[in-house]
Amino acid sequence: MSLSMYDASIPVMTHMLQSLAAILEKAADHAASKKIEPAVLINARLYPDMFPLARQIQIATDQAKGCAARLAGTDVPKFEDNEVSFDDLQARIAKTIAFIEGFKAQEIDGSEDRDIVLQMHENTREFKGRDYLLGWVLPNFYFHVTTAYNILRHNGVEIGKKDYLGV
């Protein structure tokens, strides 16, 4: 039996977004218990030229919602990228999960050969659905989820591999 496009995308991203939400909850608790202003963690970066935590989460959720919509051939919803608190980030994750879980397998399966065109600033990238999912979305999605985890771990939030994996 082959792995379906749906199974390789929606459940995988939902699971990781749920793990990310749990990690953020631990970060909020950490900030409260250590009397750290939440904005310190939300704006933290691993390196000066890297995006801060909030942007990592925005990009991860953008990858998830964009993937689901494009593979299903529907419009990608626009989120404002204005999250400034842990509650805002949790709401964005929850909104993303609700959106992607709204798709049925039959809407995503069979999208392996769907033409996907991404306009990124002045560049255009063209993919077939399978290459878009496996070669673009999932690597980008995991990069930003992992970077969010790393920012929090680097700043002393007591999280580990089990938190990342959601087990």
Using 50 as the pLDDT threshold, list the residues of the chain that sit under it: none
pLDDT of residue 120: 86
pLDDT for position 135: 97
Architecture of domain 10-155: Up-down Bundle (1.20)
Using left for φ > 0, alpha for ψ between -120 and 50, and beta otherwise, residue 128 falls in beta
Closest CA to 43 of 54, 32, 57, 34: 54
Query: In the chain, where are the structural domains located?
Result: 10-155
Q: Is the pTM of this model over 0.85?
A: yes
Taking each helix axis from N to C end, the angle separating 138-154 and 10-33, rounded to the nearest 10 degrees, works out to 10
